[in-house]
Amino acid sequence: MFKESQNFKSYLKMKFTKALFFCVSIAALFSCNQDDGKIDFTFLQLNDVYEIAPIQGGEYGGMARVATVHEQLLKENSNTFMFVAGDFLNPSLLGTIQYQGERIRGKQMIETMNAMGVDLVAFGNHEFDLSATDLQKRLDESNFNWISGNVLQNKDGVLSPFSNKHNKVGDTFIKEFSDADGTTIKIGFISVCVPSNPRDYVAYKDVFKEAERSYADLKDKVDVVFGLTHVTIAQDLEIAKRLPNIPLIMGGHEHTNMLIPQGDSFVAKADANAKTVYVHKISYDKKTKKTSIQSVLKEINSDIVENEQTAVVVNKWQGILKKKIKEIIDKPEEIILNAQTPLDGRDKPIRSIQTNLGVLITKSMSYAFDDAVDCALVNGGSIRIDDELEGAITPVDIFRVLPYGGAVLKVKLKGSLLLKVLDFREKAKGTGAYLQRYNVQKKNKGWYVQSKPINPNKIYTVAFSDYLLKGYDIPFLTEENKEVVSVYKPTGTEKSFDIRNSIILYLKSLK
């Protein structure tokens, strides 16, 4: 009897223990799945990317390497979103090449970005370097979303949003995230683009008014709003000042990395051509409505293994590029210069001040004629890299600088015409007609060639880029001008037959 009673007690104890364990387990499970109101997510930011392959001798950049970083971040947190803050369709050497009957015009970039899994992009001013037809093709080819609050399509005076085969380009964008414990969040984005590239088919609205309008339209529909912009840093900081509840603006346009505070907000920009990217790890508390952000600038270098899927696309386009370049130069990957000081080919400086890259190009033009010229001039608009060259420089880099090429001409002209050309240069500051020069100086408001005042009646021999003599930038500078005495056009065997060839040979001569 006693034994049976003991067994019964043990049985009850076992049943109670199991029931208690079950209850605790259910409670724990319920607790784990309970929405705690907090959520973590990650933003991967690129901006101003013109090159899909690594640059500087393969040391930095490369979209296949960025794709690897993206893949790693997704493994850490599935709530990862990748952005490009404008300027990616142009300028690029690849974009100028003819392939399958038409110029590539950014097709290589769209195909690469599709492979990478880019989520959202902003318009940059260089997107509008393309014709309306080419831009529409790129829009239709893209699998990612576009955003712009102040840029509209202009068709015969009728303004409407740009669109692609998927949907129209919105002035705002909303993304929803959720995590394992059931916390959900709606994140909104606004975007504006600097109106620095006027085109007939594009209408720009005011940057600040449209940023404010977009924010006002969006703020009550989401938990938090971020910026994805392509404007100057001064404009970004002004937007952050006017809209202090935006915790982070991911910007483009400048080509050097920065993370600048404005009140409780930050403006972040990475280095151009994916030399770096910004990784923003963000936590949002729905109860306090507070956002905390840890922003890390990550260098994209040769230590990062390329993502195979993206590398296939990049290698395809690089193969096409190398084939075309070999029609002009034998060893496109040869290192011809180690630039310790960055060579400045950014749009704004190259079109408004004398830069070291401008000097290098015009020195090379003089070298192409064995320095048997008085001076050399090239229009800044021919220099299309919109970036700085640093480190190991190859012929491919020179082609990136001057993708359209063209001959160097030896022109004899009167000093009076040369003076008019140089005066026009000063009035053309900020445009593609601004001239980079060699052996030309301005002193005491007068022009000098080789340290001597220009004599209006003297005949000077000048090395010009062939584009300049077509009258597009400087209307009166054509072969037909009566003050042009003669024009020598090189043959295909001469150093001057292509301006890029002139630079490559000049740099090799310095070794």
pTM of the model: 0.83
Lookup: tokens for 148? 């712009």
Q: CATH number of the domain at 329-509, please?
A: 3.90.780.10
- Position 370 scores a pLDDT of 97
Q: How far apart are CA 468 and CA 473, in angstroms?
A: 7
> Are the CB atoms for 381 and 473 separated by under 8 Å?
yes
Tell me the average pLDDT of the chain: 92
The helix or strand, by DSSP H or E, that contains position 82, with its residue range, turns out to be strand 80-84
Lookup: tokens for 451? 């340290």
Count, residues in the chain: 511
Q: How far apart are CA 5 and CA 401, in angstroms?
A: 95
Contacts of 340 (CB under 8 A, 6+ apart): none
Q: What are phi and psi of 200, to 5 degrees?
A: -60, -30
Q: pLDDT tens across 40-73, in order?
A: 999 999 999 999 999 887 899 999 999 999 999 9
Which of left, alpha, beta for 235 (phi over 0: left; psi -120 to 50: alpha)? alpha
Average pLDDT on 339-367 reads 95
Q: pLDDT tens across 412-434, in order?
A: 999 999 999 999 999 999 888 99
Q: pLDDT tens across 139-151, in order?
A: 999 999 999 999 9
DSSP annotation string for 194-211? ---S--TTEEEPPHHHHH
Beta-sheet pairing, 440-443 with 446-449: antiparallel
Decide if pLDDT at 287 tops 90.
Answer: yes
Decide if pLDDT at 7 tops 70.
Answer: no
Q: pLDDT tens across 305-326, in order?
A: 999 999 999 999 999 998 888 8
Average pLDDT on 292-304 reads 98
Please state which of the ranges 75-89, 277-291, 349-363, 384-398 shows the lowest mean pLDDT: 384-398
Contacts of 467 (CB under 8 A, 6+ apart): 379, 382, 404, 406, 473
> Are the CB atoms for 395 and 331 separated by under 8 Å?
yes
Confidence class for position 13, pLDDT limits 50, 70, 90: low
Domain ranges of the chain: 38-308, 329-509
- Position 24 scores a pLDDT of 44
CATH number for 38-308 (one of 3.60.21.10, 3.40.47.10, 3.30.300.10, 3.30.450.20): it is: 3.60.21.10
- Position 100 scores a pLDDT of 87
- DSSP letter (8 states) at residue 15: H
Decide if pLDDT at 335 tops 60.
Answer: yes
- Helix pair angle (356-367, 499-509), 10° resolution: 90
Identity of the amino acid at 16: F
Coil vs helix vs strand at 362: helix
Decide if pLDDT at 29 tops 90.
Answer: no
> Are the CB atoms for 19 and 165 separated by under 8 Å?
no
Lookup: tokens for 38? 């907090």
User: Degrees (nearest 5) of the Cα angle 230, 233, 237?
Assistant: 105
Q: How far apart are CA 377 and CA 386, in angstroms?
A: 19
Task: Using CB atoms within 10 Å of the CB of residue 450, give its burial: 0 to 12 exposed, 13 to 18 middle, 19+ buried.
Answer: exposed
Decide if pLDDT at 490 tops 90.
Answer: yes
- Position 332 scores a pLDDT of 86
Give the percent of the chain with pLDDT over 70: 94
Q: pLDDT tens across 178-230, in order?
A: 999 999 999 999 999 999 888 999 999 999 999 999 999 999 999 999 999 99
Chain centroid, CA 332 distance in Å: 23
Contacts of 250 (CB under 8 A, 6+ apart): 43, 45, 47, 83, 85, 226, 227, 228, 229, 268, 269, 278, 280
Q: How far apart are CA 70 and CA 434, in angstroms?
A: 41
Q: pLDDT tens across 106-129, in order?
A: 999 999 999 999 999 999 999 999
Peptide bond into 195 cis (omega under 30): no
Decide if pLDDT at 8 tops 60.
Answer: no
Coil vs helix vs strand at 344: strand
Coil vs helix vs strand at 227: strand
Residue with tokens 């499970």, as numbered in its chain? 29
CA gyration radius, the chain = 29
